[in-house]
Structure 1
Amino acid sequence: MPFVSDVAIQEMQIEDYDEVYKLWSNTPGMGLSDADKKENIQKFLLRNKGLSYVCRHGDRIIGTVLCGHDGRRGHIYHVTVVEEYRGKGIGRRLVETSLEKLKSEGINKCHLVVFADNAVGNAFWASTGWDKRKDIFIYSKSI
């Protein structure tokens, strides 16, 4: 297995979409919807320039973080690392890269949503210093 030094963190480009979407689709616990269609991700990346990243090992994308903000708070979506590369700090590096960029844009708080039954995701966020909120609920409405 390669060491973390063998990988490169790069800004996500729309040209990465097909490989990124395949990775997302093969990640248990990752919720995908129409919002994740190519044209929507392209709009998201343009609106949130320099906040989303991929991790590459050679020509292969092995990790992603999709990140944006609304001017007040950051939001992280779709963090994943290919299973055989997990536990090497790649997910942590991807998230830290996005958080540093958010901070440079004056955003001082970030939120994320994890499905309750996503054991891997919940364990990752708990192990990286994120607080699980018990004082709020998330409501959604399709429009």
Structure 2
Amino acid sequence: MHLREATPADHAALHALWAGTPGIQLRDEDACAPFCAYLARNPGLSLVAETDGRIVGCLLAGHDGRRGYLQHLAVACGYRRRGIASALIAAVLQRLAVQGIAKSHVFVLDAAPEALAFWRARDDWSERGDIRVFSTVEQIR
């Protein structure tokens, strides 16, 4: 397995991986143009895992200058339980640390039991019960 930075050329393969991963909910922001803008705004932070030239995992990451945010951690079904997700997380957190970001967050949908179990089983992450997330979508003209 080889980790490398995600590129705009990876979008179609990543979108297919996300679409086939239970617990990942695709939205308009996952289209190619917003994906490319995200990579440009957060250079070097989003990674893909490849095996035999095939993308088998990914993790998008960015930060707001204070906190890191991990998104769309996905590993193809036939490649799970091989440490790929852990390797992606470790590499991304290290890249965030180099940029001075020590604390990171991940948002997991209640409707994603596999993802919830994965994050709850990690000793280095703790589930918060003190906040709720509120969202809005503004029309871009």
TM range (shorter): over 0.9
2:12 corresponds to 1:18: yes
Aligned pairs, how many?
137
SS in 2 for 1:101: helix
Indicate which of 59, 76, 88 corresponds to 1:65. Answer: 59
| TM-score normalised to structure 1 length | 0.93
* Aligned residues: CA RMSD: 0.7
Deviation readout 1:40-74 (Å, 9 max, x if unpaired): 01000011001000000012100000000011100
TM-score of the pair, normalised by structure 2 = 0.95
1:110 is matched by which residue type in structure 2?
A: S
CA deviation after TM superposition for structure 1 residue 29, in Å: 1.1
Query: How many Å separate the matches in 2 of 1:70 and 1:124?
Result: 25
- Structure 2, unmatched stretches of 5+, are none
Q: In structure 2, how many angstroms separate the alpha carbons of the residues matched to 1:18 and 1:117? A: 25
Residue number in structure 2 paired with 1:3 = none
Equivalent runs, 1:45-64 vs 2, <5 Å? 45-64=39-58
1-structure distance, mates of 2:46, 2:121: 21
Determine the structure 1 residue equivalent to 2:35. 41
Q: Does 1:139 align with 2:134?
A: yes
Q: Which moved more, 1:119-128 or 1:97-106?
A: 119-128
Aligned residue type for 2:35: I
